[in-house]
Amino acid sequence: MAVRLAHPDSSARWSTAIGGFGFVVCFTVAAILYGNGAGRYSDQIVAYYSNQANRLAQIEGFVTLTIGLVLFAVFVAGLRAVATRSEPWSSLMFGTGLATVLCLVIANTLWASSAFTTVIESGYVIDPKSHLLLEDSGFAFLVAGGGMGAAFVIATSLGAFRDRLLPRWLVWLGLPVACALMAVYWYLPLFAFFVWIVLVSVVGLRLRRADKLGGDTI
């Protein structure tokens, strides 16, 4: 017997679009605010955090990315209705999406921790070794987030393939994007993820609610 799936309602489509676009914009702005960081050498690190403008830029980057990650969570929640409703793909997509958010939240917190400490603790002189430990721990969570993100993209693609709620070309695009996220250690693969998010947001926004007799036949 054929199963007809109605297209998602407007709230899900708009949540996906606003969350997706907002996350990409906030992440880009936060990356600019964070800049190249304090460097790898002790004298560079001490000099960097002695400058109030640098400390404030780090905190602004933290706040901006935190807002972006809230929007990413909105994107994940909306996408659950836009891309798939079949199990286990729907739950797997939602779970891995939130795991990606969590990894990035921790990474963001660790990256900004040195700046917060120098602002909160009066007269504090930063310890370069402690700073590098926190910064590299944040990077490790970014890499873990890449792995979770790859699982998120794959689950979304498989669920969308099953339910036929997204175009085939977008479903297949998820495969190279997931592979790219496994190489997030080199940062640049993140751009593939951002392009995928934007495309999913645009396509999701263009979907129309099916009428009583409409929908996609599976």
Domain boundaries, the chain: 8-206
Q: Is residue 216 scored above 50 in pLDDT?
A: no
Distance CA 68, CA 55 (A): 20
Q: Is residue 217 scored above 70 in pLDDT?
A: no
Specify the length of the chain in residues: 218
Q: Is residue 184 scored above 80 in pLDDT?
A: yes
How much is the pTM? 0.87
* 175 CB neighbour count, 10 Å cutoff: 12
pLDDT score for 12: 81
* 15 CB neighbour count, 10 Å cutoff: 23
Distance CA 203, CA 218 (A): 20
C-alpha closest to that of 157 among 136, 181, 121, 186: 181
What number is the average pLDDT over the span 167-192? 92
What number is the average pLDDT over the span 98-126? 92
What number is the average pLDDT over the span 149-171? 91
pLDDT score for 208: 57
Q: Is residue 207 scored above 80 in pLDDT?
A: no
C-alpha closest to that of 189 among 137, 153, 138: 153
* Span of 12-21, 81-90, 207-216 with lowest mean pLDDT: 207-216
* Span of 99-103, 112-116, 129-133, 205-209 with lowest mean pLDDT: 205-209
Sign of the Cα torsion 41, 46, 49, 54 reads negative
pLDDT score for 121: 85
Q: Is residue 92 scored above 80 in pLDDT?
A: yes
Residues 174, 179, 180, CA angle at the centre, nearest 5°? Answer: 95
Q: Is residue 210 scored above 50 in pLDDT?
A: no
Q: Is residue 215 scored above 80 in pLDDT?
A: no
Mean pLDDT, all residues of the chain: 88
- Assign 76 a pLDDT band (cuts: 50, 70, 90): very high
